[in-house]
Amino acid sequence: MVRPIVLPKSFVAWLWPYLEAFSGRTRATVAALAVGAVLAVGPRTVANALRALGLADEPGFATFHRVLNRNAWSGLVLARTLLHALVGAFVPDGPVVIGVDHTLERRRGPCIRPASQYYDAVRSSKKRRVTSHGLRWLTAMLLVEVPFAGRIWGLPVLTALTPSRSWCQEHGRHYRSVNDWARAVLRRLHRWLPERLVVAVMDGGFAALDLLDALSPSIIVVTRLRLDAALFDPPPAEQHYGRPAVKGARQPSLRARLSDPETVWRRAVQASRTQWRTGGWIEYASGTALWYHAGKPVVPILWVLVRYPDGRREPEAFLCTDPTVPPRTVLE
């Protein structure tokens, strides 16, 4: 039998929206685990939480482990409650900026069944590509400027495990790619915030026409763009014969625009959270186009091409699925 833990009423009232996702018999144990996780030093494991609470030698310690591996509760309910709390505190109005990225949790052992070999972005470099064995997670984070920190933080609100294709085939599961998981996560966040404009900021791995075309117009995506992407003008207004055209003339590639003397460049202070490190100038050019690839949907985009006059970084390009957004907003 576990010794009852008496918590302050103010703490229980603050935690009550999250305790509602659990059954009545589990709430006291969950509240104690929350206190232990706050006080624990090091990894936020159940064992560390029990040590912080002074329950490391309790005979009923399995009751706390059972909360995570056997008791019934909804992680989506907790994620929705956390999202509404963070949005209400940091973004009461205006667009909600969500960062989507996948991360690798390096894990080994026979019990880590969905683990597989994935690309390790942390250990890789331009000269060497490194893979590691572990679990790949897709995380959606609320990107806000925290007042006491003075910079933008990514506050995780929803996480999904993305098993590999080989593991899904071996266990008879339906395989979903990372882009499929990203589409599902963004759609769910949009359902939780139906009256807000959601801006998804992602890296180049999510720059896929299938993903961008499947999202609602209320979800604006900002991501990286390949310098050799096929960009086209809008189709002609009048066409007298043949099948209706979906695109017009081919535009110069972004790589060609870098050396084109007719490209109009604008200069601005680098707009990013790393400005305090570099503090340099950037030059950017922008325009609108239709991004098209054979067999894929056509997506209208705003492209922004960035170069660094001091040569500290390679030129890069970004896209926005809303062509009416100012280029400076995309860079910010």
Task: Give yes or no for residue 276 having a pLDDT over 50.
Answer: no
What are 164's two structure tokens? 């590999």
What are 104's two structure tokens? 């690798």
77 contacts 22 by C-beta, under 8 angstroms? no
Sign of CA dihedral 243, 245, 246, 252: positive
- Quickly state the pLDDT bin for 270 (edges 50, 70, 90): low
CA distance 69 to 169: 25
pLDDT 10s digits, 63-85: 888 888 888 888 899 999 999 99
Task: Give yes or no for residue 212 having a pLDDT over 70.
Answer: yes
pLDDT at 119: 86
Task: Give yes or no for residue 189 having a pLDDT over 90.
Answer: yes
What are 171's two structure tokens? 């266990």
- Quickly state the pLDDT bin for 277 (edges 50, 70, 90): very low
Sign of CA dihedral 114, 50, 38, 68: positive
Enter the pTM of the model.
0.86
Give the residue with greater pLDDT, 186 vs 147: 186
133 contacts 106 by C-beta, under 8 angstroms? yes
Give the residue with greater pLDDT, 1 vs 280: 280
Task: Give yes or no for residue 90 having a pLDDT over 50.
Answer: yes
pLDDT at 185: 94
Q: How many CA atoms lie within 13 A of 254 on its CB side?
A: 26
Per DSSP, helices labelled H in 193-279 are 209-214, 254-259
What are 44's two structure tokens? 């936020």
Task: Give yes or no for residue 162 having a pLDDT over 70.
Answer: yes
Task: Give yes or no for residue 111 having a pLDDT over 90.
Answer: no
- Beta strands 198-202 and 231-232: pairing type? unpaired
